[in-house]
Structure 1
Amino acid sequence: MNTEAKVGAVTLAGLILLGGMIVYLSGFSFGEKGSPIKAVFGQVSGLKSGNIVRYAGVEIGKVANVRVVPEGVTAEIILNPGIKVPKGSRFTIGSDGLLGEKYINIVPPREVDGFLAPNEQVYGENPQGLDELMVSANQVLAEVQTLVKALNDVIGDEKVRAALKESAFNTRDITANLKSLTATLADLASENQGDVTAIVANLKAMSVSLKDTAARVDTMIADVGNNGQTAKDLRETIGAIKQTSSRVEKMAASLEGVVTDPETAKNLRETLRNTRDASAKANKMLDKVGSIKTEASVETLYSSDTDKYRNSASVKVNTSPTDFAIIGVNDIGESSKTNFQLGKSNANIDQRYGIIDNKVGIGVDAKLGSQLRMSLDVYDPNDVQVKLRTQYQVAPNTFIVGESDNVNKRDERTSFFGVRKAF
């Protein structure tokens, strides 16, 4: 190879190398160029061609062109090859520093549901420009000036300044008094430390006594029922009062004819009258205590219609042979419906009225023989509901129960079967 050929070869190699460097530095690619996307903004605040595009802070492309359209400004974005932007992403315009280069920032959505197609158009969020910031700053300054003026008007008043000075002096005096009081309390505590210790010991002993007393009260309350023994003792006590009153009355009557002093006779008559009143009250108390009877019961029912269990409890209090009251809760733990009813008993029919399953209503209980009993409840005046119930005694205080709710509503009718136990 001659000299001219060598020089030409070196020159050609240099030109090829220079062209390759230019292509590399300019980002020119002979293959895939990436995916184009159009973003429409109301304003772009100086965005121009060549600015970078970032996705969650990572550079993924550049702005190819910025042009004005009727809707505002369209920025044509060229994404790097292989980059896909999820649908629902937010497009905003940011800047590197206060006066730095503008760029488009893409904020990904929380959930990805597909990706933007090539040449798809999206709408970006308008940036907060410097003009808007200046307007906001002017508004804030105006409000600050108004506040300062109001403070000047308040503090500039002679009366207000005098009041502030007086408050400061009072605060100083209060602080001095508190300091003196604290010192006095410290000296008092130091001088009477022994008494304080004794007081604390007495309080401790008192708390122990209170604890013992509370335990005794709890025991006494727990023993009040005593399987009916308390009621029996009460009846015996009232009976003893009645007997004593009768004896006192007889003694006073026997002395009445003997006493001749007027004052003594007067006292004797008052004693007789008080004795008769006490005797009458004792008779009434005996009648009431003797007629009160209670019966508690619990039941568990199951519905094959809803595949649910229902637990209930109630207490029936017979205040007389014909009067009674029922207190209970249906469906404990689920809806917990309250029952509170008053009623009267006849030969084979009981009549009830009051609260039935949280609603106002009435009920009738019919005794069909010695073991079978049927009940009918009608309640809730706003949306009438009818309940039919049957129970059959299979053992002492044990019953098989069948119940149908909402008998008058075919679509809401529900049946239950289970066991009831009385105590």
Structure 2
Amino acid sequence: MKRAVLLLPVLLLTGCSLYDTPLPGGAALGDHPYHVTVQFTDVLDLVPQSSVKVDDVAVGRVDRIDLGPDNKTALVDVLINGSVRLPANSGAQLGQSSLLGEKYVEITAPQQPTGRLADGSVITRDRTSRSPEIEEVLGALSLLLNGGDIGQIQNIVKELNAAMTGNEPQIRSFLSQVDNLVRDLDGQKDNVVKAIDAMNRLTTTLAGQRDNIATALDQLGPGLKVVTAQRDELTSMLNALDNLSSVAVDTINRSRDDLVGDLRQLQPVLQKLAETGSKLPTALEYLATYPFSDYAAGDVKGDYFNSDIRFNLDLSALLGPQSPIIGGG
């Protein structure tokens, strides 16, 4: 007790503070420690001389804590043992040794380490965080228990019991249908995957044609305006086409029997033409040089024939009025 009383005047006379006194059992800094500045948005009750740890091993201590120029950032200057190598992109967070224990700075390793922390390095605010305080946890738990969703669970259970009581067969049937649906979907899994792949390809194609689609949509507006302006003319045209189709159908219905009769009468003529076979082309060859054959024309090359040919296609003159083709008995 006397030592404590005597120590205080000594500290006051030398102008030192308690924060300048190293804590017993602290990390050994070695002969060449290096300074690293860590930026935090909130340092809670962190104080100088607190530990700096890596994987729960003390490797340094907090030297001083200052307020940044923006008045929103806490600058924590830490001293780290010179033999400890840390990546340049390391992170940092505020930890707590126990439920009510002291705060300390935990240096966290990045996923892809690069470089090395050196004297004067800075761990920026986007790479730092802090663990929740016990007061914050208890406050959130109190809010949850007093006015949160847990208080509504009893009401939800009561409503579910009221809704299901007496409806067991319907619920059982519904669950059975859901089970069948899931089973059918599982059986169609390959088709569903193919449909999703096809939809993905379609989406990719549409994305590639985005400019063309945008151009088509832009030009669709003027076209619709023209169609709207000519709506009356289009309606009149469609009505005229409807009248024309009605007249055409009526004409075909009325002339159906005559058309069938004409086709039946044409059948013997087509049959005779088919029976002539190759004789008809030969006869047409003789017709061009009638009354001379093509052989006679070949013997007098360089000369010519004067001919007067008349074709009479009146079948009634050839077959007579009593012919079955013309309409006789």
Specify which structure has the higher proportion of helix. Answer: 2
Higher relative contact order (CA 8 A, sep 6+): 2
Specify which structure has the higher proportion of strand. Answer: 1
Tell me the TM-score normalised to structure 2 length.
0.37
Tell me the TM-score normalised to structure 1 length.
0.29
Structure possessing the higher radius of gyration over alpha carbons: 2
